[in-house]
Every structure is written in C-alpha cells, then in structure tokens.
C-alpha cells in the first residue's frame, strides 16, 4: 500500500465535484495535488494573477483548468484562498455574491483575527460559508514547482471556526486537511494569533531585524565572512519574503506589540546583568532557556 | 591518498616532542587527535579536572598520558588551553613559572580582550610565550567522545597575536592549526571581540532570552506544541551551555553592551512601524534583511 493509498483510506471517504485554489503556489498547489491524488475531487480550478505560474501549475497537474475569480465563485463547491493576507478581503468581495449557497471557503493565511474581520466585512451574512484556517507548513521554496502532495503529512493545520459556521461545513474542511495527512486542531482566532506571534512572527521579527543591523554595520564584510553555523540557523528565517512578513506583522499588530513590549524590559534587565558582571543572574535565565530548548528538541 | 595524508602533506612538515592539552573536550581532543594523526607530535599530555573524562580521552587515543597541570608546565613544548575563559588566568598562573623558555602556549577561548588581560596579569613577562587564538568550530555535542580530527577542516581559526610574540612562535601556532586543516587568520583582539559579539554572542543572547521568555509564558505548553521549523532553527543555539555563555557575555561585556545598545533603538523604531501599520517602512528593512541573508547563504 503506497503512502497515497494510506492517505485516501485514513480520512473518511468524500468527494467534492469542483475545488478552486486561489493562489496556486506551494501551499495551494500542495493542497490541490494531495486531494487529487486521493481521488477526492472531480476538477480543480486554479486562480491567480501570474499567468506563467498558473500554466506551470497546469503542466504539473496541480490544477485541471485555469479560471477567473468569477468563474471560481460561480462553479466551486470548495475554495481554498491561499493568497497573502492583505488581499483576502478583496478576493472575498468578488467571490461573495457569486457563491453557491452550499459552497465552502477556507483560507491559509498566517494570521486570523484581521483576516476574519476582513472576510466578515466583505462577505456579510455569507461569512457563515467561510471557515478560517492556517496550515503550519512552509518551506524555503515557493511557487507551484515546489508543491508537494506530502507537504502537510503529519503537520498541524489550525482551524479557528466562526460562530456562524455549520458543523457540516467545518467537518468538510477538517476532512480535506486530514486527507492531506494533516493533524487538525481548533482554537480561537485570538489564541491562534497570540500563539503564532510568540512562536513564529516575533522570532521572525528578531531574526530579520538582527540581520538588517548586521548588513548595515561598518564591519559587515569581515563579520559575515566569519559567521558560522549558529549565525546560519539563527538568521535562516530572515531570508523569507518581505511582502509576506510585512503583511503578517501588520495583520497581527496587537499580538506583535505585546511580544515586543514584553521583550524590551527583559532586554533592559539582562543588559544590566552583563554590565554588572552578574554571573548568577545571567546563569539563571541562560540555564532555564537551555533546559527548555533541550526539552523541546527531545519531544520533536 | 586519505584525508589524513592530505592534512599531513598540505601543512609544512614539523614535529613537536611534547604537546599538552588543558581541558580535553571537543575542542582540545579534536586538536590533539588531528596533530597525532598527522604525525606531528611525540607525546600528548592531557590535563583536566574530570578524571573520568581524561580516562575516556586516553582510551580514545586523543592523549597519550594523563598529567597534572604542573607536569604539563614543566614538560611541554606546546600547550593548548581549551578551558572556559573564566579559568584561563588561574591556569596561566600555575603554568607560568614552570614553562620551558622555548615553550609556546595558545588558547581556544571565544573572547580575546579579557583573556589577554588575564594572561598578561598571570604570566608577566612570559606573556610573550602566549599566542591568543580562537578556533571557530563547535558542535551541539561536547566532551572527548565528540572529538573529531576533522573538526577544523576548512574552518576558520583566528589568532590575535601580541606585540611581544615572536614571529617563530606565531608561525608554529599557525602550522599546528593548518595541520588540522584550518584556515588561519590574524586580526586584533578588539576587532575579534567586536566581530564575534556581532555574529555569535549577540545572536546567542537574543535566542536564549527569547527562549527564556517563551518558557515562562502562560501559554508555553500550547505554543511549544505548535512551534515549527522556524522556531527550531532560531532557538537551536539557546540550548548551549549556560556556564560557557555566561562567561562569554561577561568576558566580552563592552562589545555586548554596544550590540544591545544599537539594537534597542532599532526595536523601538520598528515597533512604531508596526503600531502605525507602516507597510513601506517595514518592507524596506525586511527586504534589506532578506537580500543580505540570501546573499550570505549563496556564498557559504
């Protein structure tokens, strides 16, 4: 039995005639391919702004047809919006009036509170058809060529359902992600944004701000020549898309500000320990950090 | 021709009758083994506080004899001090009066200004026999069992020679590291400490302080369960030895404070951009960081 057979069997059996993916890159393309491999969809429509990218997705068999957003709105039974968070509102504005009454929409944006606010404003009462989601999967690569039907295998997908969502629609979204091999969890949008500010957005901010500071320092040439493996790992995330991270920081503004405002006094306090050569004070938090990191590593 | 043959041939031919390693862990053990494999030493003495660790080093063939610090001082032609920075002064105090007049000492500490100050105070006029060094090689593992004669292969070793050092002694230290396969560079101690504060000590500080903050937050359980690959890489260095990093932060105090004091206003400024939803401002530095990181990655 191949992995794909396992995927098809492990999720409940279901079939969706027309699935649309708005934004056919790594995230959307991988989702479409996994559902197609599992035999769960009749036809996948691909929507996007970049024609070359859509044609590549078609060649790769990620989608069956290139469609306009309007066509996707009218024809789809299930729509995954895997665009940057900043355009989700506009996408929903176009889709909303065209949707079948039984159609289900979900998204893949990294923040949820702002996205839900945008969706609510654009969709009005039809927001009941939108189940917000966030697959925790990524790669340094992007675009349809990087799409991989196993991208979500054993990875977390967070759903942050709205009070308006029906149990059946929620179940269908769960089934789709489970068919991709993902572990589906439900939490509130506020909790989601707070947690991802902590474990993803704030580390990205620190890493990128640090890399920015190094790149503009007087001795950056020599410094970068001597930087080693610690530097390499600490700054890897700083290479990410500036557009995507700008949108995430703004979209998750409140939780980001909380992280920064908690970090500043800790910087002040530990700076003082260094200035005072306070060996005991430094050791205490360094040890807690080291123990916590090692424990986390063992559980992964 | 094996790699070890290449090592022996690529460095100039030399032979040292008695080499001592004070602190036979990953760093000291790898150095000793590489020199032994290259046929460059007659006998390696191992000195340390942990008897079990020394016996392990003997079993592994990293050293030929376990010795006291006093024995090492009297008998050695070449001594590598690979102890924590905080004990180097005491080690030099014992070694100094016992040293052969032709003996050469070097070290492997991660900071240089404070170490040189300590060595100068302990050794007096004999500081001319001490050539400060810093091999840029590390591993998540430690102890003699992790020692690897190829640890320094193609890695940088920085020497920060003193005005008192003789050209011949400096040449001998270079030769030893080159025989390990390392690329040897010379810079001033001040420049060394500034650069390593930037590319190593300050990132460690940020990573560990972040990890500490996460570990004590209310939602750390859920947060750590959902943390992904970005978190993993960003926090890897936070798992390092609290003792070692405490010593480094204190030993390199001045350069660390400079890094922190430059970072704080950048945090303030970019925090304001997030609060103001300043997309253009955020994009500018995120893009510079992303470009710089990608360029660095390509050159490695």
Task: Check residue A96 and give its pLDDT.
Answer: 97
Task: Check residue B7 and give its pLDDT.
Answer: 46
Q: Quick count: other Cβ atoms within 10 Å of Cβ B12? A: 10
**pLDDT at B143 > cutoff 60:** yes
Q: Tell me the nearest-neighbour CA distance from A65 into chain B, angstroms.
A: 33
> Is beta strand A133-135 parallel, antiparallel or unpaired with respect to A156-159?
antiparallel
Between A and B, how many residue pairs show a Cβ–Cβ distance under 8 A? 264
pLDDT digits (tens, 9 = 90+) for A13-64: 899 999 999 999 999 999 999 999 999 999 999 999 999 999 999 999 999 9
Ranked by mean pLDDT, which of A238-242, B99-103, B215-219, B244-248 comes out on top?
B99-103
- The pLDDT mean for chain A works out to 93
B interface test, pick of A269, A286, A297, A298 with most B CB neighbours within 10 Å: A286
Q: In terms of Cα–Cα distance, which of B266, B221, B65 is closest to A187? A: B221
Sign of CA dihedral B289, B295, B296, B298: positive
Mean pLDDT of the B137-151 span: 85
**pLDDT at A225 > cutoff 80:** yes
> Is beta strand B156-159 parallel, antiparallel or unpaired with respect to B133-135?
antiparallel
A95 exposure class (CB count in 10 Å sphere: 0-12, 13-18, 19+): buried
CATH T-level fold of A3-187? Rossmann fold (3.40.50)
Q: CA-CA distance, A88 to A96, in Å (whole number)?
A: 12
For domain A191-298, the CATH architecture is: Orthogonal Bundle (1.10)
pLDDT band at residue B8 under the 50/70/90 scheme: very low
Residue owning tokens 């320094």: B152
Q: CA-CA distance, B285 to A246, in Å (whole number)?
A: 10
B interface test, pick of A289, A291, A296, A299 with most B CB neighbours within 10 Å: A289
Taking contacts as CB-CB distances below 8 angstroms, the residues of chain B near A271 are: 257, 260-261
The residues near B292 (Cβ < 8 Å, ≥ 6 apart) are A211, A212, A214, A215, A238
C-beta atoms of A200 and B241 within 8 A: no
Give the residue ranges of DSSP H helices in A181-239.
189-196, 202-215, 220-226, 229-235
Task: Check residue B48 and give its pLDDT.
Answer: 96
pLDDT digits (tens, 9 = 90+) for A167-185: 999 999 999 999 999 999 9
Q: CA-CA distance, B150 to B7, in Å (whole number)?
A: 9
Q: Tell me the nearest-neighbour CA distance from A101 into chain B, angstroms.
A: 34
**pLDDT at B1 > cutoff 70:** no
**pLDDT at A1 > cutoff 80:** no
pLDDT digits (tens, 9 = 90+) for B30-64: 999 999 999 999 999 999 999 999 999 999 999 99
Mean pLDDT of the A133-157 span: 89
C-beta atoms of A250 and B279 within 8 A: yes
The residues near A223 (Cβ < 8 Å, ≥ 6 apart) are A214, A217, B195, B198, B199
ipTM comes to 0.85
C-beta atoms of A195 and B286 within 8 A: no
Residue owning tokens 């991208």: A151
Q: Tell me the nearest-neighbour CA distance from B249 into chain A, angstroms.
A: 6
pLDDT band at residue B2 under the 50/70/90 scheme: very low
Domain A3-187 identical in fold to domain A191-298: no
Q: CA-CA distance, A41 to A35, in Å (whole number)?
A: 6
Segments making up each domain of chain A, as ranges: 3-187, 191-298
Mutual angle of helices A279-298 and B242-251, in 10-degree steps: 140
Taking contacts as CB-CB distances below 8 angstroms, the residues of chain A near B158 are: 226
C-beta atoms of A205 and B270 within 8 A: yes
Sign of CA dihedral B160, B166, B167, B171: negative
If phi > 0 it is left, if psi is from -120 to 50 it is alpha, else beta; for residue A108 that is alpha
Task: Check residue A6 and give its pLDDT.
Answer: 45
C-beta atoms of B217 and A229 within 8 A: no
Task: Check residue B219 and give its pLDDT.
Answer: 81
């Amino acid at each position: 039995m191949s992995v794909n057979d396992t995927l098809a069997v492990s999720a409940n059996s279901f079939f969706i005639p027309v699935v649309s993916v708005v934004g056919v890159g790594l995230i959307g393309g991988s989702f479409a391919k996994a559902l197609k491999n599992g035999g769960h969809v009749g036809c996948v429509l691909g929507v996007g702004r970049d024609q070359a990218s859509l044609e590549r997705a078609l060649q790769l068999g990620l989608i069956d047809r290139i469609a306009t957003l309007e066509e996707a709105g009218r024809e789809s039974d299930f729509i995954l919006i895997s665009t940057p968070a900043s355009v989700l509102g506009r996408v929903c504005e176009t889709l909303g009036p065209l949707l079948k009454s039984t159609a289900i929409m979900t998204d893949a944006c990294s923040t949820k509170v702002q996205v839900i606010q945008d969706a609510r404003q654009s969709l009005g009462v039809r927001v009941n058809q939108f189940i917000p989601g966030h697959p925790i999967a990524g790669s340094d690569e992007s675009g349809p060529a990087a799409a991989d039907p196993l991208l979500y295998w054993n990875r977390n997908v967070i759903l942050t359902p709205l009070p308006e969502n029906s149990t059946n629609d929620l179940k269908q979204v769960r089934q789709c992600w489970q068919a991709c091999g993902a572990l589906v969890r439900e939490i509130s949008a506020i909790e989601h944004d707070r947690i991802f500010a902590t474990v993803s957005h704030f580390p990205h901010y620190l890493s990128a701000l640090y890399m920015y500071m190094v790149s503009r320092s007087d001795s950056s040439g020599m410094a970068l020549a001597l930087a080693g493996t610690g530097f390499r790992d600490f700054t890897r995330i700083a290479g990410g898309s500036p557009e995507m991270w700008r949108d995430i920081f703004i979209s998750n503004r409140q939780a980001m500000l909380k992280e920064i405002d908690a970090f500043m006094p800790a910087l002040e306090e530990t700076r003082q320990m260094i200035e005072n050569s306070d060996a005991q004070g430094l050791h205490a938090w360094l040890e807690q950090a080291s123990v916590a990191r090692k424990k986390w590593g063992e559980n992964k």
